[in-house]
Structure 1
């Protein structure tokens, strides 16, 4: 039996990177999975990977910064599988690197709109569905930059601190109602975000690798394993926690 056998899981940002790894891991561990993303081609590829491995999944196109779209996506996932037990709200954007006083207002608003508001919108519609079934588990993707400050990432860091904050509040609010809410805080992971950093700021990338305590970056699958475990019954007393999975980046 898998960690989430018989459950229904929803994963946002499931078209690539951590989201894809999470969707595949949920399916491997026995869940039926709703893969949510605004990238249709990538999302459909994730579904195909799950189905090729013998799992069950559907793709739902959605921009999590769009309130109506999120409401529709959650409804479609429940329509497809009859209920919602687990959610990994993973979708997010990183934005450019810039000093705090030089950060563009438009970029600040974009990051807050996706990373904070988008995560809240997902929870806003997931929680009632879970309450209807008597409980559930939610994992939000924050970041190690939501635990410690990172120079040059003022909006990203602020948005991820925000994700940690709404995670803790929701955990307190719904603990007695059978819903657990946790966050996973990845360190630097080999994803498209890191590829963009390598292209736009190779020195920052070199510095990042040089400072890696384990001598490498993390893999998307390593974050997915933590997210799925947090949604499983084996984490039944873990609630309101921000689990840092960063290879000791923040241990200094």
Structure 2
């Protein structure tokens, strides 16, 4: 996908990765719609790039449906939807059900609802692009954060399913899987396992996305080391689990 002239929607656009994507995609010539539960933050980003801003709480299907309908009916057909909003929840099986439900709604169901209300529109007009922000945790897991690792695995799985089900109907799908990115999510966790290969800036993530979208690659890895870890995992799952146990012990306190 060449971004010039395209209409792009980005959720979680008020800060972090979403803000970095909005700025970089605008530089590439896209018209960006910044969506966030923090409307004032989204408006500030939109003002900087000459885009639009809309309120959206991705934990609610009605908000996602309204976002898609508003953009398609009043701005333009959506060429690229970046389902970027997400949250981090630390802990394991002791995390209360309400917190498991909340992270499931935001990190997984928001993607399901986006596809439910947007993919049929895209297919009907011959194609479109969906980019889901997951995490390296969705490929490798995350010591100290079961809800996060589990939901990000599910996000990757759903992206794969959409790609294999609608790829022959003109839909393109990418899944963004960085490790630590300088944002509110990493604040206070700079020494966590996610930062083992360094904390990169949102603009670095955005550049990786521009390059991957141009090639229409499914997997976007701003931290290239993740590919090596994936290969180790598939080559010897038991050995990989042993290594992850050591990582878990090493970072238990910081998590």
Do the two structures share a fold, i.e. TM-score over 0.5? Answer: yes
Q: CA RMSD in A?
A: 1.9
Equivalent position to 2:172, from 171, 180, 197? 180
1:229: Cα distance to partner? 3.5
Choose 80-89 or 41-50, whichever is displaced more: 80-89
With normalisation by structure 1, the TM-score equals 0.84
Residue 30 of structure 2 corresponds to 31
Residue 202 of structure 1 corresponds to none
Alignment of 1:231-246 (within 5 A): 231=213, 234-236=214-216, 238=217, 241-246=218-223
Aligned equivalents of 2:47, 2:227: Cα separation in 1:
36
| Equivalent residues of 1:3, 1:30 under 8 A apart | no
Q: Deviations over 1:188-240 (max 9, x none)?
A: 11100111435xxxxxx26665x32xxx3111112222333344xx324x3xx
Q: Is residue 71 from structure 1 mapped to residue 65 from structure 2 by the alignment?
A: yes
Residue 224 of structure 1 corresponds to 206
Residue 44 of structure 2 corresponds to 45
Distance 1:136 1:249, change over 3 A: closer
1:34: Cα distance to partner? 1.2
Q: Unaligned stretches of 5+ in structure 1?
A: 52-56, 199-204
Aligned equivalents of 2:135, 2:55: Cα separation in 1:
24
Q: Deviations over 1:51-97 (max 9, x none)?
A: 2xxxxx110101011111111101111123221111111001112x2
Distance 1:42 1:121, change over 3 A: same
With normalisation by structure 2, the TM-score equals 0.84
Please list every run of at least 4 consecutive aligned residues from structure 1 whose deviation after the TM superposition is greater than 6 angstroms: none
Secondary structure in structure 2 of the residue aligned to 1:14: coil
Corresponding residue pairs, total: 229
| Equivalent residues of 1:144, 1:250 under 8 A apart | no
Aligned equivalents of 1:129, 1:229: Cα separation in 2:
26
Q: Unaligned stretches of 5+ in structure 2?
A: 230-255
